[in-house]
A and B are shown apart, each in its own frame.
Chain A
């Protein structure tokens, strides 16, 4: 199965045929099981495409800037940032919420879509989960460096310390420590469990001793035995069922950081669902950004098909509209509450000194995705890539607007100020992208980026009854492969 052939079939863009709704096959190009293995595992085995190297070194450069900025911060203290009274929570918390939001799409795709039997998730869940992990790593680094005295960060955990004191469990910031770190750990385990059959595939294809050893160790001796699959599938289902409330709780807890306070603009009950919708929205945009690039560079158009991307665009449209609804509701409630401070906070948001940020957020998040009402736009790769970038920008600005505009004009006009980031703030944000992309590029270099076993499981040949009716034809689909 050549990729050129696959491309040619992609060009024929008529997935819905006949009079009724016929579900489009999830894997295009008439691939056999072996083709799928070769297509996905092959990328881990051969040298990366030429484009990988410059991008990787760019990401590595940004990562070193991240390291330098953190070193600079530790040496000099948090005064190197723009955070100052009255805006005590500047870029670090904006970046934290931004990254942890992005880290929601992976688990949504792997857990919630799994429970809803959305089988199209198999094409994208592996990379979305990986992206989740790396986003959570980026997210966790910000509160860690934000505490100022990072060498006593363990005080935030229930570990005995020299003060003989325990963490303050009544603080939402501590709930955050638990929620985000547990989320990171659970995502890692979920990801690893999903990888076990694919590590075994890599092990069985390994040509060198080192690969055999490393993949052999990672595969834990997996042999695809049905007695194993039985517990494995059950475990996966339970993990999905547990990760679903977890993923919804994590961003709710993040929103409690704001909502439990009594700052006008933060103290709203709509925050938990609104944050969760925003998290899914931004996460899908980031998955889309990465997938559009990865599928074209790695020629995976037959596995991550245009219909996969279209379904993600529908979710972006849905969650983007939910976020827009939340923005409007906030305004209405601010007026309806009759609290003048609350109303001021919102009018100040839309018309005050940060109006530029507010309207950037509003247009990127609410207006831009509306283009996805049109099917042609949903299925156009350049359009969706542009919109995804807009959404990434817009969702960063959402957190910036929430944090900054609510703080910069507090109850006392004499302390009003205009927050501006310093060069350290900006370079740290840039650096966190370096960390994210470095990890992601290493992932696509060394780990099968699509769940091989799961994709095979949703192919028509995987259904044992596929062979009942058309057994002769089925044999011909599984043509004996000349190569290995």
Chain B
């Protein structure tokens, strides 16, 4: 497969490593070699990997703060508008709107909106769902959710070179290196008549 690779179709090179420590070292090496578009794939999150890959902290927290603020405001405004403006109704002479009895619902809506942002914000940042990924063509890559540790350098990277990048991964201790080709998703294949 690799030998007859059509260069237009090359998605990247995939190196397999023996364990989490090997992958961490390799990620550091690839980062130090100046690569930008690469990723480490592992069955669980590895401590220190963000630093090794030169990644900062996730920005998700800021979005969540925005979501929480929106939920808080909505909880307040909804109760104010419904109780005080749209349909004021006198119940045992209590105020139409007061902050004290409104706190539980403001609180719950704050949490709800923050949680929705935390979950769907994570999906957006991770571009999930992504049903098609050329990596799925690799038979060995299926082990990534079991006990496989992989490092993938994408061909989109400016420094990418089929031979040199593969050699780098081998130097960093990869036990197996393969070229990943982007053969297209099943739907595309079928519409091409093959």
Q: Which residues 355-385 of A have a CB within 8 angstroms of B? A: none
At the interface, yes or no: A331 with Cβ under 8 Å from chain B?
Answer: no
Instruction: Judge whether B122 and A224 touch: CB under 8 Å.
Output: no
At the interface, yes or no: B86 with Cβ under 8 Å from chain A?
Answer: yes
Instruction: Judge whether A201 and B18 touch: CB under 8 Å.
Output: no
Instruction: Judge whether B41 and A221 touch: CB under 8 Å.
Output: no
Q: Check A179/B104 contact, CB under 8 A, given A34-B146, A464-B21.
A: yes
Instruction: Judge whether B20 and A463 touch: CB under 8 Å.
Output: yes
Q: Check A239/B115 contact, CB under 8 A, given A37-B146, A464-B46.
A: yes
At the interface, yes or no: B34 with Cβ under 8 Å from chain A?
Answer: no
Residues of B within 8 A of A457 (CB): 44-45
Stretch at the interface among A71-79, A138-146, A163-171: A163-171
At the interface, yes or no: B42 with Cβ under 8 Å from chain A?
Answer: yes
Residues of B within 8 A of A185 (CB): 112, 115
Residues of B within 8 A of A249 (CB): 104, 107-108, 111
Q: Which residue of A lies closest to B105 (CB)?
A: A178
Count of CB-CB pairs between chains A and B under 8 Å: 217
Q: Which residues 86-127 of B have a CB within 8 angstroms of A? A: 86-87, 89, 91, 94, 98, 101-102, 104-105, 107-109, 111-112, 114-116, 118-119, 121-123, 125-126
Q: Which residue of B lies closest to A201 (CB)?
A: B145
| Alpha-carbon gap, A245 to B47, bound state (A) | 27
| Alpha-carbon gap, A85 to B60, bound state (A) | 53
The one of B21, B87, B108, B145 that contacts A468, using a Cβ cutoff of 8 Å: B21
Q: Which residues 65-99 of A have a CB within 8 angstroms of B? A: none
Q: Check A462/B46 contact, CB under 8 A, given A222-B128, A235-B119.
A: yes
Q: Which residue of A lies closest to B100 (CB)?
A: A170
B182 to chain A, nearest CB (A): 14
Residues of B within 8 A of A253 (CB): 104, 108
Cβ contacts A201-224/B at 8 Å (1 or 0 each): 101110000000000110011111
Instruction: Judge whether A204 and B129 touch: CB under 8 Å.
Output: no
Interface centre among A170, A456, A467, A468 (most CB of B within 10 A): A170
B126 to chain A, nearest CB (A): 5
Instruction: Judge whether A467 and B111 touch: CB under 8 Å.
Output: no
| Alpha-carbon gap, A244 to B47, bound state (A) | 24
At the interface, yes or no: A226 with Cβ under 8 Å from chain B?
Answer: yes
Q: Check A204/B44 contact, CB under 8 A, given A186-B111, A220-B128, A239-B119.
A: no
At the interface, yes or no: A182 with Cβ under 8 Å from chain B?
Answer: yes
Instruction: Judge whether B144 and A239 touch: CB under 8 Å.
Output: no
At the interface, yes or no: A327 with Cβ under 8 Å from chain B?
Answer: no
At the interface, yes or no: B78 with Cβ under 8 Å from chain A?
Answer: yes
At the interface, yes or no: A347 with Cβ under 8 Å from chain B?
Answer: no
Residues of A within 8 A of B9 (CB): none
The one of A34, A232, A463, A464 that contacts B147, using a Cβ cutoff of 8 Å: A34
| Alpha-carbon gap, A256 to B101, bound state (A) | 11
At the interface, yes or no: B174 with Cβ under 8 Å from chain A?
Answer: no
Cβ contacts B160-193/A at 8 Å (1 or 0 each): 0000000000000000000000000000000000
At the interface, yes or no: A46 with Cβ under 8 Å from chain B?
Answer: no
Interface centre among B57, B108, B123 (most CB of A within 10 A): B108
At the interface, yes or no: A234 with Cβ under 8 Å from chain B?
Answer: yes
At the interface, yes or no: A465 with Cβ under 8 Å from chain B?
Answer: yes
At the interface, yes or no: B142 with Cβ under 8 Å from chain A?
Answer: yes
At the interface, yes or no: A311 with Cβ under 8 Å from chain B?
Answer: no
Instruction: Judge whether A226 and B49 touch: CB under 8 Å.
Output: yes
B162 to chain A, nearest CB (A): 21
At the interface, yes or no: A227 with Cβ under 8 Å from chain B?
Answer: yes
Interface centre among B18, B49, B122, B146 (most CB of A within 10 A): B146
Residues of A within 8 A of B115 (CB): 185-186, 189-190, 239, 242-243
| Alpha-carbon gap, A454 to B132, bound state (A) | 25
Instruction: Judge whether B21 and A471 touch: CB under 8 Å.
Output: yes
| Alpha-carbon gap, A221 to B144, bound state (A) | 13
| Alpha-carbon gap, A151 to B167, bound state (A) | 68
At the interface, yes or no: A238 with Cβ under 8 Å from chain B?
Answer: yes
At the interface, yes or no: A200 with Cβ under 8 Å from chain B?
Answer: yes
| Alpha-carbon gap, A233 to B42, bound state (A) | 14
Interface centre among B40, B61, B128 (most CB of A within 10 A): B128
Instruction: Judge whether B43 and A242 touch: CB under 8 Å.
Output: no
At the interface, yes or no: A461 with Cβ under 8 Å from chain B?
Answer: yes
The one of B21, B79, B122 that contacts A235, using a Cβ cutoff of 8 Å: B122
| Alpha-carbon gap, A461 to B22, bound state (A) | 12
At the interface, yes or no: A175 with Cβ under 8 Å from chain B?
Answer: yes
Residues of A within 8 A of B48 (CB): 464
| Alpha-carbon gap, A228 to B122, bound state (A) | 8
Residues of B within 8 A of A165 (CB): 87, 89
| Alpha-carbon gap, A205 to B143, bound state (A) | 9
| Alpha-carbon gap, A225 to B53, bound state (A) | 12
At the interface, yes or no: A58 with Cβ under 8 Å from chain B?
Answer: no
Q: Check A221/B111 contact, CB under 8 A, given A166-B87, A467-B19.
A: no
Instruction: Judge whether B119 and A234 touch: CB under 8 Å.
Output: no
Binding site for A on B (CB under 8 A): 18-24, 27, 39-50, 53, 55, 57-58, 60-61, 64, 78-79, 82-83, 86-87, 89, 91, 94, 98, 101-102, 104-105, 107-109, 111-112, 114-116, 118-119, 121-123, 125-126, 128-133, 135, 141-147
Q: List 5 additional A-B contacts (Cβ < 8 Å) besides A165-B87, A478-B147.
A: A169-B102, A186-B112, A227-B39, A462-B20, A467-B22
> Mind listing 9 A-B residue pairs with CB under 8 Å?
A165-B89, A170-B91, A204-B145, A220-B129, A221-B129, A224-B144, A230-B55, A453-B44, A461-B19
Binding site for B on A (CB under 8 A): 32-34, 37, 158, 164-170, 172, 174-175, 178-179, 182, 185-186, 189-190, 192-193, 196-197, 200-201, 203-205, 216-217, 220-235, 238-239, 242-243, 245-246, 249, 253, 256, 452-454, 456-457, 461-468, 471, 474-475, 478
